Structures are given as structure tokens and as C-alpha cells.
Structure 1
Amino acid sequence: MAAIVQFENVGLRYDQGEEVLRDVSFSFVPGAFYFLTGASGAGKTSLLRLLHLAQRPSRGVIRLFGADVVTLPRARMPMLRRRIGMVYQDFRLVPHLSVTDNIALPLRIADTPEDEVREAVGEMLAWVGLTHRAGAKPATLSGGEQQRVAIARAVVARPDILLADEPTGNVDDAMADRLIQLFASLNQLGTTVVVATHDLNLLPRVPTAQMMRIAAGRLSQPAGGLRAPARRERA
């Protein structure tokens, strides 16, 4: 099965500082679930920034969906990024918008017809268990509720890849389990999922997941040539 993500000897430095990622090489296959583990400051967030096209590498080759993102014209970046969902550790919800409007934001940016927006958002609210909070503002939500809104916003456009940066860092164990199960159910529908975490207790909760370990900017257990799980069609 062809890889949807390929990194070849990738290095990253910010400004003139030392490299924060060094000689990183791996590939992702469609429909797999990956845990990216490592201590704080190991380079997990920097790697996710490269995957989300928020940063270009200082050296090396990155291919996403067959496109060389190092040489890709900036005008083509937004279209590629729409195929990638991102769940941030600090949620990044728009404070003056309701839960419904936060989730709808990616669809409205893409000029999706409003009737399709309403249907998709309704499905997402039910999926994350927040239909009763549809009109609430982020400040009135608990940390777990905010994270579920962030997840719904990230997947409402049905991305091919979902990235999550320490998604369970601000919630209790019961909510962490619920969030991981949401990621697992999305993965079962065919989305490639990458969860960055320092919490190794999460790994047994997704028995089919592959693990990547990063330390001091280097992958000590890269992912590549992995067998994807059986793909299920979305309803």
C-alpha cells in the first residue's frame, strides 16, 4: 500500500538555532493509527507542525499525498491542508463563537452550502455527545467539553489525516479514555490518526496502534512499511 506521508532525512531548525529535529525518516500508510511518544521538548510538536504544513523543513524531503511539500507553491498549500485535521493541546476555540459555529468554521471557510454545514455539524455534535451544548460559548465548557469541540471541528470536513497534540493533557483519566475512543472510532472509518503524547498509559487503549518514539529531535522507533488495518466505509 502506497504511503500517504513520507519523511526522508528531514531536519528542522528555527531561525539560526540548533536543529530541533534531526535526520527524521518515516512513512505512514493509509488507515493506520500512530502514537508519537516522547518527553516534553523532545520534538513532538515540531514534527506535527511539519505534518500540518505549518512549517517547512530546513532540509530533507517531505511528501504528503504524493506532493513534495518542500517545493510546493504556497498557493497550493490550503487545498492540501484541508485534507489534514489538527487538534491542539490548548483547544484554540474562537471565544465569541458558539460550539456550533466553532465546529462549522472549517466548512464555512471552504464555502460549503449552509444546509450541508448544518447537517455535518449536527452529526459531529451527536458523535462527541455535545448536542445539548450546541449554543454554549467556549468559556462555559469544561476542559473535556472544549477538547471534544476541538476534535469535532478538526474532523467535520472528513480529513484523510487527523493530528492531535497531547489531546488528553488537560482532562481526567475517564475523559482521556473517551477521547481516545473517539479517535479510534474515527480511525475505524479509514482516517489515519496520529496522537502525540507523553502518556504511555494511553497506548494499550488502542491495541492496533503503531508507536513512534522521539527523543532529542531524533526518532528512535520510526514508523514505516506498516500494514494498514482493514478499511471500513463511512456511512
Structure 2
Amino acid sequence: MDLCYTAGQSVLVTGGSRGIGAATVRAFAAEGVGRIHVAARDSESVARLSREVKGTEVVGHVLDLSRSGDRGQLSSVLDEVDILVNNAGAIPQGALEAADLAAWRRAWDLKVWGYLELTQLALAAMTERGTGVVVNVVGVSGERPDVGYLAGSMANSALMTLTRTVGAYSLDHGVRVVGVNPGPVETSRLTDALRTRAATEFGDSGRWADYVRSYPAQRIATAEEVADTVVFLASARSGYTSGCIVTLDGGMAWRGRAL
């Protein structure tokens, strides 16, 4: 299927240097998008991705998006991009009883406030032009909260509300706001989360792979599968989707847990 992307289009992917973000950059490049802005904290990963992607201009922005001042540095980029993919975020595992609330606040500064402020900036510019797409990569715990991942469940629930409420009206101005809720995805972040959970539940972090046997198809989703969904939702082929969220977890949330 031709997704109707052109070399004249531009995209901003936050958290774009690795995992789902890097896979999303590669997927947009494969579809012929001409310019892709990548915002991330790791300058070496951004530079490596820029060298790897061929045929598309990759522009790196080394920023800490948990800081409002750094987010503001993307305002000129958001004035011109056709698509914003909010993907930057890393939220710690854990229940409330032993929570490091300062760490939770830092994580929300990056994911909740980061998505919120960048969406606000993008929406203003896109509404003025009468066209644009915002894709929020959220997480399945937002629809299936987990007491052992309370900070992430709360953040993702908030971002689902942001996506649905803003996207319900944005299309009146030519702008679509949509979301993707990945379940477990094959990244180092997931492995670390499962190790933490295994240490808590089994007293042995090395048993993290035991969980995968209960996942749909006994496997973890790939970053490329999430990226393909993002790229389709952002495309003209998905032109009447707004205010909605696609769950990409093989049905896992309805088995009772988000991880």
C-alpha cells in the first residue's frame, strides 16, 4: 500500500535515537519522507542514526525534553513539521509504597509535560496551516492500570485523555491527533522492567524471561511493528482517524496485566 508520503514532508520524532523512536525514523525514511528531525539526549546515538539512514535528511537535536527550556528550543521545528511523533519517555516500575516520588516527578516531566507542551506548540502551528498530525506513543498500562507500574499507568492514562479529547476536535481545523498503545516491546527498557518485576516477585531478576511465556504468541512485539503502526496512522491513508488510540499488544491487556 502506498502511504502517499513525499520528499517535501518533514517529521519530528522525540526519543528518536533508539528503540521505537529509531525504528520510527527508519520507517518514515523508507516511505520517502524528505526530512526527519530527531530529538534525544544521547548525541552519539543521534549521530549514528543520522549516518545509518540513507536518502533522507536526518537533523539531530540533542536535548533533555524533561526541561521546558529544552522543549522550547524545538518551537521553530514545530512551526514547520508536518508530523510530530511524541515518543520520549522512561517511567520507573514500582508500587506506591516504596516509590521514589522525586523520580516519578522527573519521569512525568519528560513524558507527560513533554508530550503536553510539544503537542500544544505543534497544534498551534498546524492549526494555522490547516494541516498536520500528532501521534502520541503512549502505553497499554493507560487502559489496563498495573499497581506495580503505577507511575506509568497514571501518566499513560493522562496521555490517552489528552489524545482523545484534543483529537476529538482538532480535525475541524485540519489536524489529526492519534495515539498508539504498545504493550511489551523488545527493547532494553522492557528487559530492565521485567528484571525489576522478577526481582520483586521471584527474588531473582534472572527469571524475567519466564513472563514472556504467558504473552500472546509467546513473544514480545518488535519496535518495527510499533513504528509501522505509527507511520500508517500519520499517513494520508489514515486521514479520518483522530481522537483514537490503537492498542498494539496482541490482546495482552485483556489477559489481565500490562506486563
TM-score between both structures, scaled by the size of structure 1: 0.32
Name the structure with the higher helix share.
Answer: 2
